[in-house]
C-alpha cells in the first residue's frame, strides 16, 4: 500500500506530487537561474523552466504520451534532460533513464521491461538504441536533426492543441509512478525499481529534515548518470522541489574542472571522486619544495590532528587550537578555495564504502563529509552521519521516518515511506526483497552502535568464507589498500574457500600518469606501467600499509596488477563503479589461479617476504 506523503513547500503550500511541488518552486524566485551548464553558456531561469516544460509537455502529448505511459531517456547530463523529464512528469507519465554505457542487449531488456514507446536521446547513442531492435514509435533527438527521428525543436513546435497542461499535472496522484530506477545487474538482469511520487517526496522530506537542508540559495552539480538514484532524486528531483540550482556536467571525468565554476554549496561524491580529489591535493602538495612543502605538510597534518581530536572528543587543547588557526590561514582555506569548494557547507559520500582515512583527510581540510547509505529500493538515502557527529567507518543513523533493524544473520532490514513497493513485472524478485510485513531485505550485513549508528560490513552474498570457515568482508580489505595509495584505482580481494587472501589490483590511470612522469616513463602505456618495478614497489608498499591495519587472516599475501583500466559500465564495474565480482572471477580466472599456484608466476607478487 502506498503511503500518501505531503511535502510542505517553503511557500507554505503542501504538495503531494512532484509536479505540484515544482509549480510552487516556480513562484519562489522566477528570475533566478535554475539550470546551467559549465561556464554559463546555457542558463535557464525558473520562469523559463516553467514555460519550456509547459510547451514540451504539449509536444509529448502530441506524440501520444498519456498518464501512466513510460518514456525512455538516454542523455548525458544536460539541461535538456531536466526539461524533458519534468515535462513527462507533468503529463502524468513515468520518465526513466538508461546508463550511457548500456549495450544494445541491456537496452533491449530495459525497454522491454519498461514498455516505453518514446525515447529521448542524442546522436552518439542512436546506433546503440537502434541495434537494440526494440520497436519504438517516436525517437526524439537532442542536438540537431537525424534520420528517422524528430528534433527537440520539432517537439516544441508541434504541441497538442487539445492538451490541458494544468488538468494533466493536477490529475497526477501520489501513488502514480514518478520513475523507474534500473539496478546495475551485478547478480543477473537489471530490475526496474518502481518509485512513486510519494516515495520521491518522502525521500526529499527525509533529506531536507536531515543531511540536506537546501533551498533556492544553494548550488549543486549534476554529473552522475540520471539512471543512478543519487542524481535522479538527490539532484534532479530535489531541484524541482526545493529550488536548488543545478550545474550540469556532461562528462563526469571533468568534475574537478567544473567545481570552481559551479562553486557548489552542496556536493555529493561517490567514493572514487573523493579519492581522486584527495589524490590531486596530495600530488600538488607533494610537488612543493623547500619551505613551502614543509608548511604544507605541517598544515595538513595539523588539520588532521585537529579533526581526530574532535572525533575522539578529547578536545584540541590550546596549542593545537592555535596551530589549527595558523594552518587554516596559511593553507587549508586556500586549498578549499582552489578546489572550488570554498563555499561548500554540505558534503556527502555514498553508493559504495569509503575508507575512513579519506573522510579524516577531508575533515582535516575543513570538510565534514556525511557518509550516507541507501539503494535504489530506498529511493536513495536511508542512513546518514550527522554533520556535527562525524564518525568515519559508520554510515550513520536512519533518516527520519524510517525503521531499521538487523536480522538474526546481521542483514539490514528497513521499512518506511521511502521504500519501493516492488520491481516492475518481477513479482518473484519483489517477494524475495520485501516480506509480508513490509521490511526490505537489503542484502547488506551490518552492525548497530549503541546510539543507532549503522556500520555496513559488506554485501551478504559477497562475504569471503576462507578455507578455515571464517567470514571475511572483502570491502574492508579493499578499502585498506585504496586508502594507503591513490595509485590503486580498484582492488579485488579474493579467497573464498582458499587458505589465504590474494588480490587483483587495478591502477588509477590519472595517478599512474602522474607517477609515470616522476619515474621518467611518460611514454609507457598502462600495461607497461603495471609491470614497471617502481610501480610494483609502490603497490606492494600500499598493500603492506593496508595489511598493517588488518587482522592476520584478512591480510593480502599475494597480488597481481591487471594490465588494463576498468571503466564504469564495462565487464568489471557497474556504471556506479561497484565491482562485478562474478564476471571478474570468470574473466580473470587464469590470473586468479596463478595467485594460488604453488610457485608464484612472474606477474604474481608475494608480500610475505
Q: How many domains does the chain have?
A: 3
Residues 317 and 200 reside in one and the same domain? no
Any idea what the CATH number is for the domain that residue 542 is in? 3.30.300.30
Q: Which of 117-121, 314-318, 557-561 has the lowest mean pLDDT?
A: 314-318
CA–CA separation, 204 vs 379, rounded Å? 9
Phi, psi of 598 (to 5 degrees): -60, -40
416 lies in some domain: yes
Residue 1 has pLDDT above 50, yes or no: no
CA–CA separation, 27 vs 45, rounded Å? 12
Q: Whole domain around residue 255: which residue ranges?
A: 7-265
Give 360-385 pLDDT, tens digit per residue.
888 888 888 888 999 999 999 999 98
pLDDT band of residue 391 (cuts 50, 70, 90) is confident
Residues 290 and 226 reside in one and the same domain? no
Residues 436 and 469 reside in one and the same domain? no
Of 265, 288, 322, the one marking the end of a domain is 265
pLDDT band of residue 186 (cuts 50, 70, 90) is low
Q: What is the mean pLDDT of residues 340-359?
A: 84
Residues 181 and 62 reside in one and the same domain? yes
Of 412, 428, 460, the one marking the end of a domain is 460
Strand partners, 304: none
Query: How far is the CA of 539 from the CAs of 371, 504, 512, in angstroms?
Result: 27, 11, 11
**Hey, what's the cell of 536?**
610494483
Average pLDDT, the chain: 90
Residues 90 and 210 reside in one and the same domain? yes
Could you tell me whether strands 346-349 and 369-375 are parallel, antiparallel, or unpaired per DSSP bridges? parallel
Any idea what the CATH number is for the domain that residue 354 is in? 3.40.50.12780
In percent, the amount of the chain with pLDDT more than 70 equals: 99
Give 136-171 pLDDT, tens digit per residue.
999 999 998 999 999 999 999 999 999 999 999 999
Of 460, 489, 513, the one marking the end of a domain is 460
Residues 558 and 598 reside in one and the same domain? yes
156 lies in some domain: yes
The closest alpha carbon to 174, from 195, 151, 190, 143, belongs to 195
Decide: 268 and 369 in contact? Cβ < 8 Å. Answer: no
Residues 257 and 375 reside in one and the same domain? no
Residues 236 and 322 reside in one and the same domain? no
Residues 436 and 529 reside in one and the same domain? no
What letter does residue 378 receive in the DSSP assignment? G
Residue 208 has pLDDT above 50, yes or no: yes
**Hey, what's the cell of 59?**
509536444
Q: Is 261 exposed, middle or buried (0-12, 13-18, 19+ CB in 10 A)?
A: middle
Residues 93 and 205 reside in one and the same domain? yes
Element counts in the chain: helices (H) and strands (E): 23, 28
Predicted confidence at residue 59, as pLDDT, reads 97
Amino acid at each position: 500500500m502506498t503511503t500518501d506523503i505531503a511535502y510542505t513547500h517553503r511557500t507554505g503550500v503542501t504538495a503531494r506530487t512532484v509536479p505540484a511541488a515544482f509549480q510552487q518552486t516556480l513562484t519562489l524566485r522566477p528570475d533566478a537561474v535554475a539550470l546551467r551548464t559549465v561556464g554559463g553558456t546555457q542558463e535557464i531561469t525558473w520562469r523559463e523552466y516553467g514555460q519550456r516544460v509547459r510547451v514540451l509537455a504539449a509536444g509529448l502529448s502530441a506524440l501520444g504520451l498519456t498518464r501512466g505511459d513510460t518514456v525512455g531517456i538516454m542523455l548525458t547530463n544536460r539541461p535538456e534532460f531536466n526539461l524533458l523529464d519534468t515535462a513527462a512528469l507533468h503529463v502524468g507519465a513515468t520518465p526513466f533513464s538508461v546508463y550511457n554505457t548500456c549495450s544494445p542487449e541491456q537496452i533491449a531488456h530495459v525497454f522491454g521491461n519498461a514498455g516505453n514507446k518514446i525515447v529521448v536521446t542524442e546522436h552518439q547513442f542512436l546506433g546503440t538504441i537502434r541495434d537494440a531492435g526494440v520497436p519504438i514509435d517516436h525517437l526524439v533527438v537532442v542536438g540537431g536533426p537525424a534520420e528517422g527521428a524528430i528534433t527537440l525543436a520539432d517537439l516544441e513546435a508541434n504541441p497538442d492543441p487539445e492538451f490541458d497542461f494544468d488538468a494533466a499535472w493536477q490529475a497526477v496522484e501520489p501513488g502514480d509512478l514518478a520513475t523507474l530506477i534500473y539496478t546495475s545487474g551485478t547478480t543477473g538482469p537489471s530490475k526496474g525499481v518502481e518509485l512513486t511520487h510519494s516515495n520521491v517526496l518522502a525521500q526529499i522530506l527525509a533529506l531536507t529534515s536531515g543531511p540536506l537542508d537546501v533551498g533556492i540559495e544553494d548550488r549543486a552539480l549534476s554529473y552522475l548518470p540520471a539512471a543512478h538514484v543519487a542524481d535522479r532524486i538527490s539532484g534532479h528531483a530535489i531541484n524541482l522541489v526545493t529550488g536548488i540550482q543545478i550545474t550540469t556536467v556532461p562528462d563526469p571525468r571533468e568534475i574537478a574542472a567544473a567545481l570552481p565554476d559551479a562553486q557548489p554549496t552542496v556536493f555529493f561524491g561517490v567514493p572514487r571522486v573523493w579519492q581522486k580529489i584527495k589524490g590531486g591535493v596530495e600530488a600538488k602538495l607533494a610537488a612543493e619544495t623547500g619551505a613551502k612543502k614543509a608548511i604544507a605538510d605541517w598544515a595538513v597534518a595539523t588539520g588532521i590532528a585537529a579533526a581526530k581530536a574532535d572525533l575522539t572528543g578529547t578536545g584540541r587543547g590550546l596549542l593545537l587550537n592555535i596551530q589549527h588557526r595558523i594552518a587554516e590561514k596559511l593553507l587549508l582555506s586556500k586549498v578549499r578555495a582552489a578546489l572550488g569548494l570554498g563555499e561548500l557547507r554540505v558534503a556527502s559520500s555514498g553508493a559504495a564504502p569509503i575508507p575512513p582515512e579519506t573522510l579524516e583527510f577531508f575533515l582535516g581540510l575543513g570538510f565534514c563529509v556525511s557518509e550516507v547509505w541507501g539503494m535504489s529500493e530506498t529511493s536513495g538515502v536511508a542512513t546518514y552521519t550527522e554533520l556535527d557527529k562525524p564518525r568515519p567507518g559508520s554510515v550513520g543513523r536512519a533518516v527520519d521516518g524510517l525503521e531499521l533493524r538487523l536480522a538474526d544473520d546481521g542483514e539490514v532490514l528497513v521499512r518506511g515511506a521511502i521504500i519501493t513497493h516492488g520491481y516492475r513485472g518481477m513479482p518473484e524478485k519483489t517477494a524475495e526483497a520485501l516480506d509480508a510485513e513490509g521490511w526490505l531485505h537489503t542484502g547488506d550485513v551490518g552492525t548497530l552502535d549503541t546510539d543507532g549508528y549503522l556500520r555496513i560490513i559488506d554485501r551478504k552474498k559477497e562475504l569471503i568464507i576462507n578455507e578455515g570457515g571464517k567470514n571475511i568482508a572483502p570491502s574492508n580489505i579493499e578499502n585498506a589498500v585504496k586508502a594507503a595509495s591513490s595509485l590503486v584505482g580498484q582492488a579485488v580481494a579474493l579467497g573464498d574457500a582458499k587458505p589465504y587472501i590474494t588480490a587483483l589490483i587495478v591502477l588509477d590511470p590519472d595517478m599512474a600518469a602522474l607517477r609515470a612522469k616522476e619515474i621518467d616513463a611518460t611514454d609507457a602505456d598502462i600495461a607497461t606501467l603495471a609491470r614497471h618495478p617502481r610501480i610494483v614497489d609502490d603497490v606492494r608498499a600500499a598493500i603492506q600499509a593496508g595489511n598493517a591495519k588488518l587482522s592476520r587472516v584478512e591480510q593480502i599475501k599475494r597480488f597481481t596488477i591487471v594490465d588494463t583500466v576498468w571503466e564504469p559500465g564495462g565487464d568489471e564495474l557497474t556504471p556506479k563503479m561497484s565491482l562485478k565480482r562474478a564476471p571478474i572471477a570468470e574473466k580473470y580466472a587464469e590470473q586468479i589461479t596463478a595467485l594460488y599456484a604453488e610457485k608464484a608466476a612472474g606477474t604474481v607478487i608475494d608480500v610475505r617476504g
